[in-house]
Structure 1
Amino acid sequence: MKKKIAVLLLSLLMIVSTLAGCGGSQQGGTPTAAPTAAPTAEPTKSAELKKVRLQLKWLPQSQFMGYYVAKDKGYFEAEGLDVEILPGGSDIIPEQNVYNGAADIGVTWVSSLITYQTQGYELVNVAQIFQKSGLLLTAKKSSGIASPADLKGKKVANWFGGNEYEVLALLEKYTLDKDKDLELVQQDYTMDQLIGDTVHAASAMTYNEFGLVLESGIKEEDLVVIDMNDEDVAMLEDCLFVNADWAAQNKDVLVGFLRASIKGWAEACKDPEAAGELVYNVDKSVSKDHQVYMAKEVAKLVTPDGFDASKIGQIDMAAVKQTADFLKLYNKDLTSTPVVDETTFNPAYWNEATK
């Protein structure tokens, strides 16, 4: 009898042990359902996005606000792009960086781009962001200058390095010899020479140096402003350009970049105050008020009065040819006659981005 009881107890223990191993308990154990395949890990965002490097012509400032807005608003990301905005500087040449592959897309002035094109650099303008020139000559009314003709006998400052061609065209228009009729002097990157009366007239970009003069306390009504656009000697400035081979191999990337950039510029020009504050937060090298001032003035160059904002970035070939004609007259660095056609100023990518 004792033996039967022992056998019975042993059987019961075996049954309990078997049930415990079947995972019926909610604590531990494996599910009784058939196993499913482990989900595939989604690729990281950086793996999904195509890296693009944009080389600016100068330091971060509202001159380039459209690209910063496009990045901040996610317009580049929506096009599948991870855009790195590379700051420029006095020792950085966008044309060389783009041509050598250190950057994919660059910002430069058309006069500078044409100069490199004539030297054999296969670079192509794919969008013209500034539709007007931002260059002025400004003087105090107390200098006796009331019009360009009054520059005769005066000391006139410019930065040179490619920035002087519009001034030279202006002088020729008024039959002023740059070597005999006035003194052209090297201008620094402040407006101290004009403010301190060591020059009679100084060069100024509408969106930067002219604002510095006003911020110094000089009133606008006490200044004379000579606008290159009004004098019909304007040359085109900020454009987007690429290496021709890179563009051919990366058409979709370039079109997406242009589409996102145009959206960024449209947003920036619609609300330049917000755009200026955004750029200020990127690089606080100047005051927020000055960045906002710059943004408002840059918007006037990108979308001038009467300009259709849906055409931001459109290439005006007549304006390009005027720029090339002035270069041919004054730029000694040109190694050949500028070629102005769709091989050097190609609207196809912009057309695709805006259709």
Structure 2
Amino acid sequence: MPASLPRRHFLLAGTAALAGTAALSGTVRAAAASPVNFQLSWIKSIQYGGYFAGIDQGTFGKFGIEASFNPGGPNIDPVANVASGQMMIGDRPSGPLIIAREKGIPIKIIGTVFQKSPFSIMSLASKPIKSLKELSGKTIAVATSNKPLMLNLLTDAGVDPESVNMVPSSPDPSALIGGQLDAYSGYVTNQGVMLQTRGVEIYALNAQDLGMPETAGTIYAREDFLNDNRQLVVNFLKGAIAGWGWALNHPEETARLMVDKYGSPGLDYTAQLTELKASKPYIVAGAGQTKGLLAIDPLLYQQIIDLYRKVGLIKSDMKAADLCDPSFVDAALS
């Protein structure tokens, strides 16, 4: 019996040593996580919920990534921050990225969150505008940057653009409620949710369904960064894909995370939850449904490029391959 005590002591000491080694190993792994900074195009809110779910649920850490997200806003040029090398990766709607590429900024699209843009023409359900032809004689709020696209949409539908009163839009669609507007063009997942959470029922015409394709939450980076950091980018996308998958399957928890922990101050839980649920059909669409979340559809991007050329926003013979590199997200999904 006395001989068993030293053996037991040895076993306990060995177990403790193994535990210490495991703890040290975990510390080393955590310390070895590669930092990736990401420039958001707007403030931290539910439209980026999948990324913050990825941080909270450890999906980035699983692939050795320490992700951080820099908020955007009205006084921040997201593309400039990425183009200058200040930030590694960013997100924007596809339109500004096409124009940036046209200007010679060496960026490439590597992923797509919103495969179908939620950009829509919204009207009050009590006075619905159910077709483009019904805009004749009406007043609609349109962002200045979107005016060429709206003019093309009207012309293709056989509507005289001169018959439609287009006024500059603001981020808040309240003028639609007040009767100053007959229609408002914006994101049904954003301004549409603003109206719905105020008890205002709306009717929405999706612009992509009308012939104005676009993507949103489009992930991009500088070409030289992509060339030098392939595995890092693939691992980031793996973490992002898993984070978005978790967020879409856990909308209540994700909305709570944004309100209580990760989002900008003052976010409303009900609005955040409503927006995430409304966003799902636009995220799990097209290539996002057939290939996997964040996938790239080169044919869709070619359609968007061709539209931008048609309306005069670009002049070059840009191809989808000039703008997009699907190989990163394809590797992340494989």
Q: 2:243 aligns with which of 251, 264, 280?
A: 264
Tell me the residue number matched to 1:172: 155
Deviations 1:271-313 (A, max 9, x none): 2222122122222332111011111112221113996376111
Say if 2:193 is the partner of 1:211.
yes
Q: How big is each residue's C-alpha offset from its partner over 1:182-220, in whole Å with a ceiling of 9 and x where there is no partner? A: 1110111111110101111111312111111122222x3
2:139 matched to which residue of 1?
Answer: 155
Match of residue 316 from structure 1 = 297
Aligned residue for 1:22?
Answer: none
Aligned-residue Cα RMSD (Å) equals 2.2
Q: How does 1:86-97 map to 2 (within 5 A)?
A: 86-97=70-81
Q: Aligned-pair distance for 1:231?
A: 1.8
Residue 342 of structure 1: CA displacement? 2.9
Q: 1:329 aligns with which of 302, 306, 310?
A: 310
The one-letter amino acid of 2:89's match is: I
Alpha-carbon deviations, 1:205-256, whole Å to 9, x = none?
A: 12111111122222x3xx4321123323222222110100001111111010
Structure 1 residues 350 and 144, CA, compared in 2 at 3 Å: closer, same or farther? Answer: closer
Distance 2:92 2:39 in 1: 9
Q: TM-score, normalised by structure 2?
A: 0.86
Cα distance 1:256–1:121, how it changes in 2: closer, same or farther (>3 A)? same
Residue 115 of structure 1 corresponds to: 99
Partner of 2:176: 194
CA 1:111 to 1:306, structure 2 compared with 1: closer, same or farther past 3 Å?
closer
Structure 1: distance between partners of 2:298 and 2:207: 18
Question: Structure 1 residue 177: deviation in Å?
Answer: 3.5
Deviation at 1:329, TM superposition (A): 2.4
Q: CA separation in 1, counterparts of 2:70 and 2:307?
A: 30
Q: How does 1:31-70 map to 2 (within 5 A)?
A: 47-70=31-54
Q: Measure the CA separation in 1 of the matches of 2:291 and 2:212.
A: 26
Could you tell me how far apart the structure 2 residues matched to 1:310 and 1:118 are?
28
Note if contact 2:54-2:243 (Cα within 8 Å) is conserved in structure 1: yes
In structure 2, distance between residues paired with 1:106 and 1:46:
24
Question: Structure 2: how far apart are the matches of 1:192 and 1:308?
Answer: 34
Shift of 1:46: 6.4
TM-score (norm 1): 0.81
Aligned to 2:15: none
Q: How many residues align?
A: 309
Change in 2 beyond 3 A, CA 1:260/1:119:
same
Determine whether 1:228 maps to 2:211.
no
Distance, in Å, in 2 between the alignment partners of 1:98 and 1:192 is 34
Structure 1 segment 98-137 matched on structure 2, within 5 A: 98-137=82-121
Stretches of structure 2 lacking an aligned partner (at least 5 in a row) = 1-20
Contact 1:166/1:228, CA 8 A, preserved across alignment: no
